[in-house]
Chain A
Amino acid sequence: MTLHSMFRKQEVAGASSDRKPRLRGWRVWGVAAALMAMQGCTAVYKTTGDILVNFGRAEMTPYLLQYDDIGMACATGEGFTPFLSSFESVGAKPGRLAVLVNTLAATCSDGKAWEQELRYLREMRAGDVVSAQDARALQKRYAAVSAQRQYAAYQRMVDYYGEVDGPKDCPRLRSDFDEVVFMTGLLSGVQAVLNDAVADGSLGVPRDIAAKVERAAGCLDNEKWWGVPMGVRAALWNTLPMIAPDGVDAKAELRQAAAQGYQSGVRLASVLYVVSTYGTGDMDDVRAGIRGFAAHGKDLNADYRMMDSIAEFMITGISDRLWTEATGKRTPFDGLGTFWDDQGPQNDINIDDLL
């Protein structure tokens, strides 16, 4: 069964409604006009909203997840978030879709924020302090936008599935769609905390999201979801050892999760490995994660191509930061997985022997 048909399955049943006696011609218009007069346009809007929400879930989401174009993801997110969310006011329930579109919308502002961080690094190298400070100000503005979108995604997820206090409170995730939404909401929650810190804590995103996400990630099947659930937990253990179980080797778990991602063709867990170790300053691990990601670009899972593209976008962001800090320029085109100080292939030919 394809992802597309799995997402669609449950929605078809929801779409079939009770048949009503048939009305023809002017009577239909008469009834419709009377209804409109009595209830305004709410009923029609709600139906439209329900159809859109169902369509978004059953058709648009799986379709979009097969895309590998991050620009499309960003535009879809920014364009659809207010549109889909607006149907809430007429009684439709776009909550789960809103988790996804808000997360996609954050890729736009994330990209802009990173661009400014790179500019900050370049200007610092060049000694242009004023321009570096300008870049920082802009980076914070964009990070605040990302934090807001990601926090909205997280809150939508919590509104729908509830908070997880322990293994016994796991929500009932009825379909792959639910699991994707749940997982996306968790990842966005962590991102919201990190982006809020960049934006000087201006949004006040609650910091306990980290510990809550750590517990909730345990509700997902690690193998099915490409090592991401373990990756999320281990990334948080690595950053915040106080929430880690005793004796756990967070970095070993992160490596293991990344490897699972490579095998499954959705390399999202390696982002967690790279972002977390970048935060704690373990540069050998950061490089290993970026190299591993770049080395496993074949046989990707076509159904979740978008997830892998988001991962690539984020990994490239970190690689660009490293490159820019060291050389003033970003990762060379097609150079992800390489570093400025890599040794070329060793020339072990003894030329004297040839002469």
Chain B
Amino acid sequence: MRFSKGLMAMAAAVMLPFSSAAQAAEERLLCVFDILGSSGDVYNVMKDYAAAAQAQGYALKLKAYTDENIAAEDLKANQCDMAAITGIRGKHFNTFTGSMDSIGSMPNYDVTRMVMQVLGSNNPKIKESLRGSSYEIMGVMPAGATYLFVKDHNMNTVNHLAGKSISVLEYDVTQARMAASVGMTPVMSDISNFAGRFNNHSVDICFAPAMAYAGLELYKGMEPNGGVVDYVLGQLSMQLIARNGRFGDEFGDWSRSYFGQTVLPRAMRLIEQFDAGIPEKWWIRISDPDRERYDEMMRDARVEMTKEGLFNKEMMTLLRNIRCRVDGGRAECSDRREIDW
């Protein structure tokens, strides 16, 4: 009896390492929106993510979506365990990270980097905001600053924008609101048609990240006399959103720090390359006083929209603090208007 017990213990000790190594990773479906499908940059990043996730005990099967709306709907309908979609589309899943792309809140890439690092830090307060009742944000990556592409380079001040038409994404109410507030006429568009409208001059202005310059040939809409206004209106992001209960807590921590440490530098390289791809001749530089004036306008708009519930106040506070950490000389840093109301 004693002998057999000993034997079993030995057998168990021998088997243990094998059984844990052979334990199959749990299968999960990761739905990825990428404009180029499985040939695109985001999908490519997620392939490496899947390899790294396997070591954390999850075998992720990737599914490419070229229509973001379907990816978001499939996540809602429990067809995907996790989905990578844009922050604008992801707003319905988490208002905290869904407010990152608010107007003017990340004026440069230093701010963006710090925001991404904070989100990947797994600080308990941040984690609480990333976890909602049904979904959890597993990682965020930047997708580039957005600029105004204009067909006439004289549209270099806000006063000149009044009366002009602009393509805005129909599922983001804040874009249309912002455009209307400076007297522009918003034309409801989606990712598939906003560039075409600008290029065939049926709208005067469009609002896009630098990657669209080449990919969607926005220079066609700017010919011969247009340009890109050198003022960062916001930052696009891709967010990885999981359904609650499909992944363990530790995996969420690992995933966010993977995004902060591994995905972020890669994404930044690509973004900076796209920005540098816009030839110098197109940039419409604006004066410092104008820049400060626009910063103030953006702030007014943000405060107003946050009060209306369109943006999340905690995120607005975080972003303001990060802006002031990066550049304490900004006018907004001497008051707390965006924080205390």
Say whether A211 faces chain B, with CB atoms less than 8 Å apart: yes
Contacts of A206 in B (CB 8 A): 214, 277
Say whether A239 faces chain B, with CB atoms less than 8 Å apart: yes
Question: Are A133's CB and B51's CB within 8 A?
Answer: yes
Say whether B296 faces chain A, with CB atoms less than 8 Å apart: no
Which chain B residues numbered 45 to 78 have a C-beta less than 8 Å away from chain A?
47-48, 50-52, 54-55, 59, 63-66
Nearest to A281 among chain B residues (CB) is: B64
Question: Are B277's CB and A204's CB within 8 A?
Answer: yes
Contacts of A129 in B (CB 8 A): 51-52, 54-55
Say whether A25 faces chain B, with CB atoms less than 8 Å apart: no
Question: Are B195's CB and A280's CB within 8 A?
Answer: no
Say whether B39 faces chain A, with CB atoms less than 8 Å apart: yes
Contacts of A194 in B (CB 8 A): 36, 39
Contacts of B47 in A (CB 8 A): 120, 136
Nearest to A325 among chain B residues (CB) is: B61
Question: Are B54's CB and A132's CB within 8 A?
Answer: yes
Question: Are A239's CB and B37's CB within 8 A?
Answer: yes
Task: Tell me how far the C-beta of B217 lies from the nearest C-beta in chain A, rounded to whole angstroms.
Answer: 5
Say whether B178 faces chain A, with CB atoms less than 8 Å apart: no
Say whether A207 faces chain B, with CB atoms less than 8 Å apart: yes
Cα of A321 to Cα of B115 in the assembled complex, Å: 38
Cα of A278 to Cα of B62 in the assembled complex, Å: 13
Say whether B182 faces chain A, with CB atoms less than 8 Å apart: no
Task: Tell me how far the C-beta of A275 lies from the nearest C-beta in chain B, rounded to whole angstroms.
Answer: 8
Q: Quick one: given A208-B214, A242-B196, are A127 and B25 in contact (CB under 8 Å)?
A: yes
Question: Are A207's CB and B39's CB within 8 A?
Answer: no
- Give the bracket for the number of chain B residues in contact with chain A: 35 or more
Q: Quick one: given A239-B36, A279-B36, are A201 and B41 in contact (CB under 8 Å)?
A: yes
Say whether A240 faces chain B, with CB atoms less than 8 Å apart: yes
Task: Tell me how far the C-beta of B258 lies from the nearest C-beta in chain A, rounded to whole angstroms.
Answer: 12
Interface residue from A127, A207, A208, A281 paired with B37 (Cβ < 8 Å): A281
Question: Are B39's CB and A197's CB within 8 A?
Answer: yes
Contacts of A279 in B (CB 8 A): 36-39, 64, 66
Contacts of A120 in B (CB 8 A): 47, 51
Contacts of A336 in B (CB 8 A): none
The proximity string for A residues 155-179 relative to B, scoring 1 for CB distances below 8 Å and 0 otherwise, is 0000000000000000000000000
Contacts of A280 in B (CB 8 A): 37-38, 64, 66
Contacts of A133 in B (CB 8 A): 48, 51-52
Task: Tell me how far the C-beta of B340 lies from the nearest C-beta in chain A, rounded to whole angstroms.
Answer: 43
Task: Tell me how far the C-beta of A231 lies from the nearest C-beta in chain B, rounded to whole angstroms.
Answer: 16
Task: Tell me how far the C-beta of B170 lies from the nearest C-beta in chain A, rounded to whole angstroms.
Answer: 15
Cα of A157 to Cα of B48 in the assembled complex, Å: 34
Contacts of A239 in B (CB 8 A): 36-37, 39, 66
Contacts of A197 in B (CB 8 A): 36, 39-41, 44
User: Interface of A with B (CB < 8 Å)?
Assistant: 120, 124, 127, 129, 132-133, 136, 194, 197-198, 200-201, 204, 206-208, 210-211, 239-242, 278-281
With A194-B36, A200-B41 known, 18 other A-B pairs at CB within 8 A are A124-B50, A127-B24, A127-B59, A132-B54, A133-B51, A136-B51, A197-B39, A200-B266, A204-B273, A206-B277, A208-B217, A210-B215, A239-B39, A279-B37, A279-B64, A279-B66, A280-B38, A280-B64
A-B contact pairs, 8 of them (CB 8 A): A129-B55, A133-B48, A200-B266, A239-B36, A239-B66, A241-B66, A241-B192, A279-B38
A-B complex: 4 closest residue pairs judged by Cβ atoms: A207-B215, A279-B37, A129-B55, A208-B214
